[in-house]
Amino acid sequence: MYFKRSLTFLIAMFAGVGSYGSLVRNEALAQDGRFDASKVRRHVEAVMKRIPTSPGVAVAVVKDDHVIFAEGFGYRDLEKKLPVTKDTGFYLASTTKSFTAAAAKILDEQDKLDLDAPIEKVFPELKLKAPLSEKQISIRDFLTHRAGISNGPIGLRTSYTGQYDNDLLLDLLAEYSEPRSPEYSYTNLGYVMTGVAMEKATGKTWKELEKELLFGPIGMTNTTSYASETFASGNYAKPYRSDEGMFTELPYKNDRTMHAAGGTVSTAEDLAKWVRVMMNDGMLGDKRIISSRSMREILAPQITQDRGFYKYRRYAYNLGWNIATYDGEEFIHCFGTYAGFRPHVSFMPEHKIGVVVLVNESDESIILPDLIANEIYDYMLGKRELNADANPLIDEYLRNLGREREGSRERASASTAEPVSSAAAPGPLQGYEGKYVNPQYGEITVSVRDGRLFAEMGNLTSFLKNEGGNRFMVDFLVLSPRVLEFDGSPPKALVLDGERYERE
C-alpha cells in the first residue's frame, strides 16, 4: 500500500541492456591511472545540461586508497539558489543497509550479537504465527533478504509515518507477518528488525552504534542518522520531483522515519571514505576500521540472485551489497530510492575504483546516477573518452524519458475526461474531523484547515480533494495519489488502500 511514485519504467526498459561498444581504447589511462578531473567536471555538467531532470548532483571518485574527485553541481535548494558541494548532505535511502550490515557484523565479531542464532535468542518474547517460526529465522537471514517473511505495516510505519516504537514493531511482526519465498527477496523488513535486534543486544540504538563503530572512526563528520541534525547543518539537498522540467519540492524525512533500512544522510566526500574502507580490506589509510576477517564475510556472496538493473547483472548478495557484473567487470554496489533522492555507491574490487553519485530527484532521474557512474568507470578503465554530446546512452535515456512523458500526458488527459460526481461532501466539513485508527497501519487525523479537509498520518500530510460525496483524493507527495473514502454521514470510519480505519 505504500509504493513510491517513481519512473520504474526506466529500470525495466534499461534492464539487461549492454553498454555500447568500446569507442576509445585509452591504454595509457588504463595502465597508469591518470585522471583528468577537468574532463570529469565538464562531462557531468554536460550530462546535466542534456538530462536536466535533477536540480543537483554530487560526484566522488576513488582510486586505490585516494579520493581523486569530489565535487558538487547544480542546486541543493532551488528557491534560494544554494549550490551543491562535496559536503552537501543527501538522504541515502537503502544505501543505509551497507552501514547497518557492517555494524551488525562488527557486533557479531565482538560476541554481542550472533548473526546465525535464531532470532528468538535476541527476541525471547517473539512468537510468530505458523508456518513462520522464530526458531528458524536468523539475523543473517534478515540481512541477506532470505528470511521468507513480509510485513506491510512495518514498512509503512518505519519508512513513511513514524508511528511506531520497538515494542510495537515486535507486536506487528508477530501478528501481521506473512510467509514468502526463502529465496532472495529484497525488503526493508530484515534491516529494520536488525536495527531493533542491535538495540536489544547492546542497549544502544542502531543510530548510536553506527556512529560509534563506523562514522566516528572513519571520520564521516557530515554523516548522520538524524534528520534533525541534517536540518541543523544547513548544507543539505532538498528533495524534488521533476515533471517535464518543472520541479516540486517534496516533504523531507523526520527522525521517526529514519530507520535502519533507510535512515542516513551523507555526502559525496564522506561516502568516498566509506568506499575506501570497503575496497581496502577495512582499512582507511593506515587505520583499521573493520577487521580483515569481518570484511571477508561482509563482501563474500551470501545468497544468489539473477536480476538485471539498468546495465548491471546482479548474481549474488552479501551483507548489505549487491554483487553484479558491469560490462564484464565485477561490480559491488548499494543503491537506494526514496521520493526526491537516488544514491549510487559502488566499486570495482579488481581495479580498486569506486564511484559515488547523488541526486536530489528520483522520478525522471531514476537512472541518472548510474549513467554518470558508468561513464566514469568506462573512462577510468580506458574503454572510451567522456562525450556527452554524441552519446548513445544519453540518447537512449532521452528517448525513454520522452515516451514516458507522452504516456503520462495521455493518462492525465484520460483521467481528466472521466466524469466526476458534482456532489459535494454530504455534510459540514467539521463532521469529518477526528482520529481514525487501524491496528495494523496506524492513525489518520482529519481536521479542517483553510476551509478544506486536511489529513495527517504521522509524517504524511495532505489536503483532501473532494471527488464527490464521501470520496476524496489524498496526495502525500512521497506516495502516489490515492482515494480516501469516508463511511457514513457523519462518518464512522474511513477506507484508504482497502484498509478500514475506525473513528474513535
Residues 295 and 380 in one domain: yes
State yes or no: pLDDT of 414 exceeds 60: yes
Same domain, 294 and 386: yes
Residues 210 and 310 in one domain: yes
Same domain, 386 and 466: no
271: nearest Cα among 367, 370, 381, 357: 357
Residue 171: inside a domain: no
Percentage of the chain with pLDDT > 70? Answer: 91
In a domain, 245, yes or no: no
Tell me which residue range forms the domain holding 219.
8-73+206-228+264-404
Q: Let me know if 352 is exposed, middle or buried by CB neighbors in 10 A (0-12, 13-18, 19+).
A: middle
Residue 184 and residue 149: Cα distance in Å, rounded?
11
Residues 293 and 358 in one domain: yes
Task: Give the domain CATH number at 349.
Answer: 3.40.710.10
pLDDT digit string, tens, across residues 28-74 = 343 345 789 999 999 999 999 999 999 999 999 999 999 999 999 99
394 contacts 50 by C-beta, under 8 angstroms? yes
Mean pLDDT over 284-304 rounds to: 97
Instruction: Identify whether 357 is part of a domain.
Output: yes
Task: Decide which of 389, 404, 419 is a domain's last residue.
Answer: 404
Q: Is 143 helix (H, G, I), strand (E, B) or coil?
A: helix
**CATH code, domain with 475:** 2.40.128.600
pLDDT at 354 over 70: yes
Retrieve residue 340's grid coordinates.
526526491
Q: Which residues pair with 185 in a beta bridge?
A: none
Mean pLDDT of the chain: 91
Residue 116 lies in a domain: no
Residue 87 scores a pLDDT above 60: yes
Question: How would you classify the pairing of strands 442-449 and 434-438?
Answer: antiparallel
Q: Which pLDDT score is estimated for 415? A: 63
Q: Which of 438, 473, 439 is nearest to 453 (CA)?
A: 473
* Three-class SS state of 391: coil
Same domain as 464, residue 379? no
Is 103's pLDDT higher than 90? yes
| Cis peptide preceding 490, ω within 30 of 0 | yes
Q: Return d(Cα 364, Cα 209) in angstroms, integer.
A: 35
pLDDT at 7: 44
Note the pTM of the prediction, 2 decimals.
0.92
Same-domain check for residues 302 and 337: yes
DSSP code of 431?
G
How would residue 150 be classed by pLDDT, with cut points 50, 70 and 90? Answer: very high
**In-domain check, residue 415:** no
Of 334, 369, 404, which marks where a domain is finished? 404
How far, in Å, CA of 202 to CA of 200, rounded?
6
Q: Is the residue at 83 inside a domain?
A: no
What local confidence, expressed as pLDDT, does residue 22 receive? 31
Q: What is the pLDDT of residue 17?
A: 39
3-state secondary structure of 501: strand
Residue 147 lies inside a defined structural domain of this protein: no
376 with 437, same domain: the answer is: no
Do residue 290 and residue 368 come from a single domain?
A: yes
On whether residue 291 sits in a domain, the answer given is yes
Q: Are 285 and 328 contained in the same domain?
A: yes
Based on the fold, state whether residues 284 and 361 are members of the same structural domain: yes
214 and 301 housed in the same domain: yes
Instruction: State the pLDDT at residue 3.
Output: 38
If pLDDT is split at 50, 70 and 90, which confidence band does 244 have? Answer: confident
Q: Could you tell me if 454 and 461 are in contact, meaning their C-beta atoms sit under 8 angstroms apart?
A: yes
What is the DSSP pairing of strand 287-288 with strand 90-91? unpaired
Q: Please count the structural domains in the chain.
A: 2
Residue 15 and residue 308 in contact, taking contact as beta carbons nearer than 8 Å: yes
- Which of these, 49, 64, 50, 60, lies nearest to 85 by C-alpha position? 60
Q: Report whether 332 contacts 323 (CB < 8 A).
A: yes
User: Position of cell 548510474?
Assistant: 370
Q: Which amino acid is at 11?
A: I
